[in-house]
Amino acid sequence: MQKDMEQILFSEQEIKDCVSRLAGEINRDYAGKEPLVVGILQGSFVFLADLVRQITLPIRVEFMSVSSYGSGTESSGSLNIRLDLAEDIAGRDVILVEDILDSGNTLSRLIPSLQERGPASLKLCVLLDKPDRRVKEVSVDYLGYSIPDAFVVGYGLDYDQKYRNLPYVGILKPEVYSK
């Protein structure tokens, strides 16, 4: 898979340090609380798995699946909840975990729909943000890295469902996705 990379953007060690920093912020901000950490499938599963192991609070973990990208590179206009939360989040402190914020279409629809369920608080933790691609405004509470508009894969991020298992974040060679 490494031959398909133009560049390694963040190494395994850099990501590890970044995840420790984010978990430290969460541990500090939620001291004495029992937040519900919600991973948005599928891309967040690697980030979430590392993040929760650095969180020292008595958290609960759940997942949601919402549709945006297909096998192409653009997100679709509408949000479809494919897998919903099992727990009622009314009165809970919820932390949403995403691998990447791109156009903002997914989160700008998901966040208001979760707010309607009456959580005590709802914050967003995102590993990668591509601000140049933003169409809908989304405010991030815990951010790993702001990145340029490049096609990134690895550490949970895919192209056509591949590369999610790379331990680093890399930029894909254009020839791979323009084939």
For residues 36 and 43, give the distance between their C-alpha atoms in angstroms, rounded to a whole number: 18
Identify the residue whose tokens are 């169409």.
Answer: 135
Q: Collapse the DSSP code of 166 into the 3-class scheme (helix H, G, I; strand E, B; otherwise coil) and give the result.
A: coil
**89 sits near ligand PRP (criterion: CB under 6 A):** no
* CA 117 centroid distance within chain: 21
Which of the stretches 28-36, 38-46, 84-92, 169-177 binds ligand PRP when contact is defined by CB under 6 A?
38-46
The least CB distance from residue 100 to ligand PRP, in Å, is 5
Helix axes 12-29, 45-52, angle to 10 degrees: 60
The residue within the footprint of ligand PRP, chosen from 46, 101, 122, 166 (CB under 6 A), is 101
- Listed in sequence order, the residues at least 6 apart from 138 whose beta carbon sits closer than 8 Å to its beta carbon are 101, 104, 107, 108, 111, 124
For residues 30 and 77, give the distance between their C-alpha atoms in angstroms, rounded to a whole number: 34
The least CB distance from residue 124 to ligand PRP, in Å, is 11
The residue within the footprint of ligand PRP, chosen from 23, 37, 38, 40 (CB under 6 A), is 40
Choosing from 17, 102, 141, 158, the catalytic residue is: 102
User: Is 102 known to be catalytic?
Assistant: yes
**111 sits near ligand PRP (criterion: CB under 6 A):** no
The least CB distance from residue 176 to ligand PRP, in Å, is 16
Q: In sequence order, which ranges of 30-66 are alpha helices (DSSP H)?
A: 45-52
Residues near ligand PRP (CB under 6 A)? 40, 42-43, 68-69, 75, 98-106, 158
